């Protein structure tokens, strides 16, 4: 049996807050590991996590505004605005990552340390998966913001897994440093695609169009 609307609204706030705490806890570790390993892919993950935190904070504000009068025809507009802000922040992060990754490739890909990359990436993957579990499968069909947070958590977990694999390869071979910026570019493409889809949905919702949560 589906949860009552009021119950769903309360659990949304609680779930988003938990995911926000999980993301915030990761930021320092990702930044420290990124600089320690000289890894642009790990720093890219840190930038993505910072953007996610801002998006989650905006989302919490939007949920609070919506829940003041959920029967209002415009009640979902703050959610669409939150999704729009989230998508924009992600695209800004993508541009920054791409510029740094291309710069490193052109400069000859400086050495990176594989072990810190593996450790922090595995931890990140586990934390992101935990966040997805907290959100639950129902988040995919609750509203635009909840769906965006769930998809972003799963995408971040997949990206972290890929970065961990690259770290293992670098650690075992003692080389192939170009994998780091190349993987950062791959992560950028994944994030950009998700951000653009979210941007389109948010704009459509702000225009008053019905948004299909199950077409991705």
Q: What ranges in 108-143 are assigned the alpha helix state H?
A: 114-135
- Contact status, residue 63 vs residue 79, Cβ threshold 8 Å: yes
What is the rounded distance in angstroms from the CA atom of residue 175 to the CA atom of residue 112?
8
CA distances (Å), origin 142, targets 36, 40, 104, 107, 156? 40, 35, 41, 46, 21
Tens digit of pLDDT per residue, the chain (216 long)? 344 445 566 688 888 889 999 999 989 888 998 888 888 888 888 887 887 887 788 778 777 777 777 666 666 677 777 778 878 877 887 888 888 888 888 888 778 888 888 898 899 999 999 989 998 887 777 776 777 788 778 888 888 888 888 888 888 888 788 888 888 888 788 778 878 887 887 788 777 776 554 444
User: Using CA atoms, how far apart are residues 183 and 166, in angstroms rounded to an integer?
Assistant: 8
> Where in the chain are the domains?
5-206
> Can you give the pTM of this predicted structure?
0.70
Report pLDDT for 4: 47
* 157 vs 122: CA distance, rounded Å: 9
Q: Which two tokens stand for residue 167?
A: 């770290």
Calpha distance 97→113 (Å, rounded): 19
- May I ask the CATH architecture of the domain 5-206? Up-down Bundle (1.20)
């Amino acid at each position: 049996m589906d949860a009552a609307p009021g119950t769903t609204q309360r659990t949304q706030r609680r779930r988003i807050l938990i995911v926000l705490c999980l993301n915030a806890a990761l930021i320092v570790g990702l930044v420290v590991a990124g600089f320690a390993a000289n890894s642009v892919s790990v720093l890219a993950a840190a930038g993505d996590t910072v953007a996610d935190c801002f998006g989650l904070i905006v989302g919490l504000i939007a949920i609070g505004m919506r829940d003041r009068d959920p029967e209002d025809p415009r009640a979902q507009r703050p959610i669409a605005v939150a999704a729009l802000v989230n998508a924009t922040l992600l695209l800004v992060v993508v541009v920054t990552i791409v510029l740094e990754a291309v710069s490193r490739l052109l400069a000859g890909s400086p050495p990176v340390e594989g072990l810190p990359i593996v450790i922090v990436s595995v931890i990140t993957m586990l934390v992101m998966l935990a966040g997805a579990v907290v959100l639950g499968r129902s988040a995919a069909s609750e509203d635009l913001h909840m769906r965006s947070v769930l998809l972003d958590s799963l995408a971040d977990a997949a990206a972290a897994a890929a970065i961990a694999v690259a770290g293992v390869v670098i650690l075992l071979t003692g080389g192939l440093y170009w994998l780091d910026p190349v993987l950062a570019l791959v992560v950028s493409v994944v994030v950009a695609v998700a951000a653009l889809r979210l941007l389109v949905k948010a704009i459509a919702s702000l225009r008053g169009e019905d948004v299909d949560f199950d077409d991705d």
